[in-house]
């Protein structure tokens, strides 16, 4: 089978297909800036820790929770357990920061 892409398809010519939802973990942009404070705390933590993301997981989780809450209210995402998004149940994020 040949993998030929028609020009009409590449520029949106095939309007009959339903769009696919984004893959898990891909959030639409926060155009309303509803989660800016959580995002800023996460970025500040990254900068102060030398971009060691493990030290900032609690901020990452808060930002992720904020975005998920907003996406659920707009029917853009189903509510998911945080463990499905890489945050283990019972994970003590404060203890992880103290170790480092």
With a cut of 80, say whether residue 23 has pLDDT above it. Answer: no
Residue 26 domain-assigned? no
Q: How many domains does the chain have?
A: 1
Question: Residues 61-66: what's their mean pLDDT?
Answer: 92
Question: Domain range spanning residue 71?
Answer: 35-80+90-100
Residue 7 domain-assigned? no
What 13-17 contacts at long range (C-beta under 8 Å, 24+ apart), as own/partner pairs, is none
Residue 43 domain-assigned? yes
With a cut of 60, say whether residue 58 has pLDDT above it. Answer: yes
**Alpha-carbon distances of 64 from 14, 46, 70, 85, rounded to whole Å:** 34, 15, 10, 9
Query: Is the torsion defined by CA of 75, 20, 36, 67 positive or negative?
Result: positive
Residue 27 domain-assigned? no
How much is the pLDDT for 9?
Answer: 55
How much is the pLDDT for 74?
Answer: 79
pLDDT confidence of 15, banded at 50, 70, 90? low
How much is the pLDDT for 90?
Answer: 56
Whether this prediction's pTM lies above 0.75 is answered by: no
């Amino acid at each position: 089978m040949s993998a030929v892409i028609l020009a009409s398809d590449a520029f949106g010519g095939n309007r009959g297909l339903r769009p696919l939802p984004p893959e898990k973990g891909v959030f639409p942009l926060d155009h309303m800036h509803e989660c800016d404070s959580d995002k800023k705390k996460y970025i500040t933590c990254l900068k102060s820790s030398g971009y060691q993301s493990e030290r900032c997981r609690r901020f990452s989780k808060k930002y992720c929770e904020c975005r998920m809450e907003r996406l659920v209210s707009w029917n853009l995402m189903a509510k998911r357990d945080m463990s499905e998004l890489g945050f283990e149940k019972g994970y003590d994020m404060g203890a992880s920061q103290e170790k480092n």
